[in-house]
Amino acid sequence: MTRLLFDYGHGGTDPGAMYKGRKEADDVLSIGKAVAAEVRRHGVALDETRTSNKTVSLRERSNMENRKKYDYFISFHRNAFQPEKAKGAETFLFTTGGALAKQLAERIQKELVAVGFTNRGVKRANFHVLRETKAPAILIEIGFIDNTADNQLFDKKRKQIVEGIARAILAQVGVTYKAAASKPTSSSTGTLYRVMAGSFADKANAEKQVTRLKKAGFEAVIMPK
């Protein structure tokens, strides 16, 4: 059975990168948990290094991964450089990361670029959570938090980002992504309300009103009082 470990960077006393009141720790926790929900909806087992705004050290994160046998370790982050000077998404694997990590990184990077992020590519790095974990590991940088355009993309295309990352992960573990069924809109009480469009003493006039309503695209029937 496939089991994944999602790691949401920073948290608690470590807010990560910040820009105009926005915190990386909050962004990655929110979007990471949304991706987790999509993946779980498809029956894939998944653990998380944190599920709230709490402090978790790098060592605690890698130790958690080492305690179980995971198929993949995926760390969520947002980038930062100098305000408004850099933009785009990039995905990292360890300097000696293998074919599986590289394949997953490429799948996710492709989805992020499809949403509209500038393609900064798949790269290799000596990050602790990539180096000290046993499973194929990747680290995603979902745009620059100090770039207004990337933040707008992160917010406006949130649903597409979540679905894209989930689709890439599921494809990597051999599961076909299925969109969630849309829920019909109804009132909270379940009550339906009728709208009257006139009362007529002459049936011919009532029939004319029905014809006008139907031409306008409304359902209409004559109901004697």
Residue 141 annotated to the active site: yes
DSSP state of 68: S
* Helical segments of 77-217, H only: 99-115, 128-131, 148-156, 158-172, 203-215
127-141 b/e (C-beta count within 10 Å ≥ 16 → b): bebbebbebbbbbbb
Burial of 86 (0-12, 13-18, 19+ CB in 10 A): middle
List, in sequence order, every beta strand (DSSP E) within the chain: 3-8, 18-19, 22-23, 45-48, 72-79, 89-94, 119-125, 137-144
In contact, 197 and 212? CB cutoff 8 Å:
no
* Strand, coil or helix: 142: strand
Q: Identify the sign of the CA torsion 216, 221, 222, 225.
A: negative
CA dihedral 16, 49, 102, 116 (to 10 degrees): -50
Catalytic residue among 24, 38, 65, 141: 141
Active site residues: 141
